[in-house]
């Protein structure tokens, strides 16, 4: 019996479409699927890179949607999630969202540093910050110490850039190592100043730290310059308080700049800033001021326990000169009034810069009317 072609099992176009072709297409379909997935991840990675570049510039509101888009696109990256969480708090004022995002970032960062070459300084720094925020201080110290030993005390610390040294400064802060932190911040600022590019926000933050060290040490010209430069790099730098910046400007007798910065103060030192601005106006009115008191002692060398008494004496003489020489607002200051005003404002300015407080002293001494407009 002769079987039909279809029954004999002989190949046919219809038979090929049902068996052989699908087997050949399957690998192609897998490749297409994998290619699409890789393409999606590549797109998310490029988006994240753009967002991270904006983050490094301190443009957190602009970085946030790009970082979120990359995360929503399926990119699993610890640094991405850390930065996204930070942006959500700064730009949207949502600390709870930041905490939740950091909670997601922590295990990914931990997994990443366990891989060969994955324990970068940036990842260890972010893990330190997250651990501190979560109150897990033993783990915080572990990550911070690992970063210091591996990078600052590693084989080639001279290869570290300004970003690295800033992070090391912060890590020493977490470890409560003040002198090591100051040294790292100063090195960060130095490395940034000698290089082109880099993270502008970190450069600004490093300068703000160095400015605080110099201000606390009484190096006011250095501090004023560092605060100025930091704000040029990152105008929204939250670490530079207008009140403290204004005090350094007052100390170096840049009166107009001091008045402007005192006016920017809307914090709990606002009243002190109002006094400061009025004092700066009084100082400007009789500038240039002397560098020394009547006895030849520089104002900066007067002992702390002697200075308030001298301010009181100067205030008394200034008030007497004002009462003796009657003048109206807008009139040129009589020479005698200007002479005693010079001494009074110079001494009071020295007191203000040292103590960071003026209102209470003026009220106690009954001299507020000599300061306020």
Q: Does residue 199 have a pLDDT over 90?
A: no
9 part of a folded domain = no
18 part of a folded domain = no
Distance CA 351, CA 311 (A): 8
48 part of a folded domain = no
8 part of a folded domain = no
Distance CA 337, CA 128 (A): 59
321 part of a folded domain = yes
> Count of domains in the chain?
1
Domain residues for 313?
251-373
**Residue with more model confidence, 339 or 3:** 339
Q: Does residue 11 have a pLDDT over 90?
A: no
For the stretch 34-83, pLDDT in tens is 444 445 568 889 999 999 999 988 899 999 999 999 999 999 999 999 99
338 part of a folded domain = yes
299 part of a folded domain = yes
45 part of a folded domain = no
Predicted TM-score (pTM) of the model is: 0.84
φ and ψ at residue 205, rounded to 5 degrees: -65, -35
% of residues, the chain, pLDDT over 90 = 84
Would you place residue 275 in the very low, low, confident or very high pLDDT band (cuts 50, 70, 90)? very high
Average pLDDT rounded to a whole number, residues 258-273: 98
Residue 142, Cα to own-chain centre: how many angstroms?
24
φ and ψ at residue 292, rounded to 5 degrees: -130, 155
């Amino acid at each position: 019996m002769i079987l039909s072609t279809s029954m004999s099992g002989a190949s046919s176009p219809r038979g090929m479409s049902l068996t052989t072709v699908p087997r050949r297409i399957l690998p192609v379909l897998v490749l297409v699927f994998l290619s699409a997935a890789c393409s999606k991840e590549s797109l998310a990675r490029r988006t994240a890179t753009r967002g991270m570049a904006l983050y490094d510039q301190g443009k957190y509101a602009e970085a946030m949607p790009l970082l979120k888009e990359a995360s929503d696109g399926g990119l699993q990256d610890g640094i991405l999630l850390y930065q996204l969480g930070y942006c959500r708090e700064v730009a949207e004022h949502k600390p709870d969202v930041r905490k939740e995002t950091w909670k997601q970032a922590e295990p990914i960062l931990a997994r990443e540093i366990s891989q060969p070459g994955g324990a970068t300084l940036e990842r260890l720094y972010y893990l330190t910050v997250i651990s501190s925020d979560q109150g897990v201080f033993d783990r915080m110290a572990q990550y911070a110490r690992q970063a210091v030993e591996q990078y600052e005390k590693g084989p080639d610390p001279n290869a570290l850039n300004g970003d690295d040294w800033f992070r090391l400064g912060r890590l020493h802060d977490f470890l409560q190592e003040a002198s090591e932190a100051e040294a790292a911040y100063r090195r960060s600022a130095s490395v940034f100043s000698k290089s082109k590019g880099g993270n502008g926000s970190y450069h600004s933050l490093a300068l703000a730290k160095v400015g605080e060290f110099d201000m606390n040490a009484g190096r006011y010209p250095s501090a004023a310059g560092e605060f100025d430069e930091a704000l040029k790099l990152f105008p929204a730098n939250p670490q530079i308080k207008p009140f403290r910046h204004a005090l350094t400007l007052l100390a170096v007798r840049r009166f107009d700049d001091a008045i402007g910065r005192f006016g920017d103060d809307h914090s709990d030192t606002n009243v002190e800033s109002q006094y400061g601005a009025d004092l700066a106006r009084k100082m400007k009115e009789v500038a240039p001021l002397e560098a020394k008191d009547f006895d030849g002692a520089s104002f900066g060398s007067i002992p702390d326990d002697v200075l308030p008494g001298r301010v009181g004496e100067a205030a008394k003489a200034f008030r007497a000169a004002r009462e003796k020489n009657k003048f109206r607002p807008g009139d040129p200051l009589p020479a005698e009034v200007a002479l005693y005003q010079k001494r009074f404002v110079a001494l009071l300015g020295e007191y203000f810069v040292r103590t960071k407080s003026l209102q209470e002293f003026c009220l106690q001494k009954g001299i507020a009317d000599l300061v306020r407009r």
